[in-house]
Structure 1
Amino acid sequence: MLLEQQNKRRLMLARQEQTITSAGNGLLAWTEGKSPLAWAAANRNVQLVEALLRSSRINVNSPDIHRQTPLMHAIVANDRQIVEKLLEMEDIDINLQDDNGRAAVFHAARMGYLHIIQLLTGTRKVDFSIRDCNGESVQDIAKKIGKQDVIAALAAQGRT
């Protein structure tokens, strides 16, 4: 019951996001510079993510101050359920890049999360030509971490 009340309060605050500004950047302080959806994804709050995704005022691609999307935050949090929910959204762009030039698949590769890489590549929307600010591809990132299953999965997808 308490969790439900907290989620209702957060949803109300998220709905007010458009009219409340702080620190000149238009983001609510309680979200730590993240959109409400990104904040909910980063904090593994599935119920709040679901509630926010039902709102017509929420942008599934809304970047935070570092241009990281809710999908990127869900990936770093290693929350498969939230990643799946976000990937179900028609207008999600999985190839948006953060301040470091890294798309969502880069975050999954950097963390070595094979199951998330498989979800992302399963959409057939991953752009393997993207290079980050250091000129590295997602395959280069995978090679750096050295997880052979991740390297193999990305190599197989990158060729198709």
Structure 2
Amino acid sequence: MSFKKETPLANAVFWAARKGNLALLQLLLNSGRVDADCKDCYGTTALMVASYSGHHECARELVMQGADINLQRETGSTALFFAAQQGHDDIVKFLFEFGASTEFRTKDGGTALSAASQYGHSKVVETLLKNGANIHDQLNDGATSLFLAAQQGHVTVVRQLISSGAKVNHLREDGTAPLWMAAQMGHSEVVKVLLLRGADRDADRKDGSTALFKAAFKGQNKVIEELLKFSPSLGLLKNGSTALHAAAMGGNPKTVSLLLGANADPFVANNNNDLPADLTKNDRILWLLRPSIANGS
């Protein structure tokens, strides 16, 4: 957040709001020489700064002095957005008492709920949902609050959102599901919750990869174990690749062993013969477990 101000007095107001210096803030506002809604060149207000910094009394003073709760800076962020992003539930509740709206969006489509979900602030998520936040709002790329929480591994927030009606199989515009993202990031507990709540384990992304395939490529063995508990199927991608091929391509010998133990077939041909120029990590596990090598020929 920028703290560039237009006047020395506005600069002092922003400093007081950022530091939580209530006495100075009151002195400046009561002087009548600076407005409670003074802004910097990006449209940031003192209330946004106090909300971001978690200074409840300063936020209250600014509102009592007439600050507009729902002003947006150039990015579209509001005081509520900043309080939610930083997990300041007391300020979020206070802002709602004075008419804060959950409908304002940032330029990338973000809302207070998406911000709180992304950063794992479960108390704030609960408060926002109770005050009308739309659980189905999406960023411009189609990512929902559930997607963002799953991506970051915030299992408590994932449970909250699903219990409140979030769609577990909603895809981002590039075809990525919350399960796929949680799998590639290695968030095994989130993967477990998503599967239990109806996530499609074998849904493929636009590039053809599944959650199991991506987890294998990344060597996310705990995730793979959860995926295999849910279904023993190892899957076959449209190009003929399997999770075993993915593990080999990623150079993950422990994952290869795990999948072989789960009865992965090392003799399935891989129709995608592209390999990085530099064959390392056990020669990419015997060149993608090619049948000719596996047969000893």
Q: TM-score, normalised by structure 1?
A: 0.78
- Are positions 1:122 and 2:196 aligned together? yes
SS of the aligned residue for 1:67 comes to coil
Question: Could you tell me how far apart the structure 1 residues matched to 2:179 and 2:111 are?
Answer: 20
Question: Could you tell me how far apart the structure 2 residues matched to 1:7 and 1:40 are?
Answer: 11
Correspondences of 1:37-52 after superposition (within 5 Å): 37-52=113-128
Question: Could you tell me how far apart the structure 2 residues matched to 1:98 and 1:9 are?
Answer: 33
Give the RMSD, CA atoms, in angstroms. 2.3
Q: Could you tell me which residue of structure 1 aligns to residue 159 of structure 2?
A: 84
Aligned AA for 1:136?
S
SS of the aligned residue for 2:231 comes to helix
Work out whether residues 118 and 145 of structure 2, in 8 Å CA contact, stay in contact via their aligned partners in 1.
yes
Work out whether residues 14 and 36 of structure 1, in 8 Å CA contact, stay in contact via their aligned partners in 2.
no
Work out whether residues 202 and 212 of structure 2, in 8 Å CA contact, stay in contact via their aligned partners in 1.
no
Larger-gyration structure (1/2): 2
**Shift in Å at residue 6 of structure 1?**
2.7
Aligned AA for 1:127?
D
Correspondences of 1:44-123 after superposition (within 5 Å): 44-55=120-131, 57-89=132-164, 91-123=165-197
Question: Could you tell me how far apart the structure 2 residues matched to 1:60 and 1:147 are?
Answer: 29
Question: Could you tell me how far apart the structure 1 residues matched to 2:95 and 2:192 are?
Answer: 31
- Are positions 1:146 and 2:219 aligned together? yes
Work out whether residues 7 and 47 of structure 1, in 8 Å CA contact, stay in contact via their aligned partners in 2.
no
- The count of aligned residue pairs is 146
Question: Could you tell me how far apart the structure 2 residues matched to 1:77 and 1:9 are?
Answer: 27
Work out whether residues 146 and 161 of structure 2, in 8 Å CA contact, stay in contact via their aligned partners in 1.
yes
Aligned AA for 2:226?
A
Deviates more, 1:139-148 or 1:4-13: 4-13
Question: Could you tell me how far apart the structure 2 residues matched to 1:13 and 1:114 are?
Answer: 36
- Are positions 1:36 and 2:109 aligned together? no
- Are positions 1:136 and 2:212 aligned together? no
Assess, with a 3 A threshold, how the Cα gap between structure 1 residues 118 and 143 changes in structure 2: closer, same or farther: same
**Shift in Å at residue 130 of structure 1?**
1.7
Question: Could you tell me how far apart the structure 2 residues matched to 1:122 and 1:149 are?
Answer: 16
Assess, with a 3 A threshold, how the Cα gap between structure 1 residues 10 and 147 changes in structure 2: closer, same or farther: farther
SS of the aligned residue for 1:92 comes to coil
Give 5+ residue unaligned stretches, structure 1: 21-26
Question: Could you tell me how far apart the structure 2 residues matched to 1:111 and 1:102 are?
Answer: 13
Deviations 1:33-76 (A, max 9, x none): 31321111112222221111113x43212211111110111122
**Shift in Å at residue 9 of structure 1?**
6.0
Assess, with a 3 A threshold, how the Cα gap between structure 1 residues 147 and 4 changes in structure 2: closer, same or farther: closer
Question: Could you tell me how far apart the structure 2 residues matched to 1:103 and 1:10 are?
Answer: 33
**Shift in Å at residue 5 of structure 1?**
4.6
**Shift in Å at residue 99 of structure 1?**
2.2
Deviates more, 1:34-43 or 1:106-115: 34-43
Deviates more, 1:127-136 or 1:66-75: 127-136
Aligned AA for 1:128?
R
Work out whether residues 179 and 201 of structure 2, in 8 Å CA contact, stay in contact via their aligned partners in 1.
no
- Are positions 1:7 and 2:92 aligned together? yes
Runs of at least 4 residues off by over 6 Å: none
